Amino acid sequence: MMSFSIKVNIPDLDRHPIEMECPVCLLHTWVKLGEIRRRDFVICRGCHANILLGDHLGQVHRFVRGFEQMLKGMER
């Protein structure tokens, strides 16, 4: 009988960049999911406004946790 196993490398999603729009000047800038999860400040590269990032109702945290659990579930 043949058996096999799968090893899944879970990526660090905190370092994954996403594009967002400055609420003041509407210039697009890149932020990382970890910055959103930690509710960090970023500075707009256009108007230099301070932007407080927020994880509304923990959506980013729940997505990352669910994604990691899905990948771990694929391992056998």
Residue 39 within any structural domain of the chain:
yes
Write down the pTM of the prediction.
Answer: 0.66
Torsion of CA 37, 45, 17, 13, to 10 degrees: -30
Average pLDDT over residues 1-7: 72
Q: What is the pLDDT of residue 24?
A: 93
- For the chain, what is the domain count? 1
Residue 3 within any structural domain of the chain:
no
Structure-token pair, residue 34: 């970890």
Residue 7 within any structural domain of the chain:
no
Provide the residue range defining the domain that includes 22.
13-74
Instruction: Please choose, from the candidates 51, 22, 18, 43, the residue with its C-alpha nearest in 3D space to the C-alpha of residue 32.
Output: 18
Q: Compute the radius of gyration of the chain from its Cα atoms.
A: 17
Residue 66 within any structural domain of the chain:
yes
What is the tens place of the pLDDT at every residue in 7-64? 767 778 888 899 999 999 999 989 998 898 888 999 998 999 999 988 888 888 888 8
Residue 45 within any structural domain of the chain:
yes
Residue 5 within any structural domain of the chain:
no
Instruction: Please choose, from the candidates 68, 15, 11, 22, the residue with its C-alpha nearest in 3D space to the C-alpha of residue 37.
Output: 15
Q: What is the pLDDT of residue 76?
A: 62
Residue 6 within any structural domain of the chain:
no
Count of Cβ atoms closer than 10 Å to residue 44 Cβ? 19
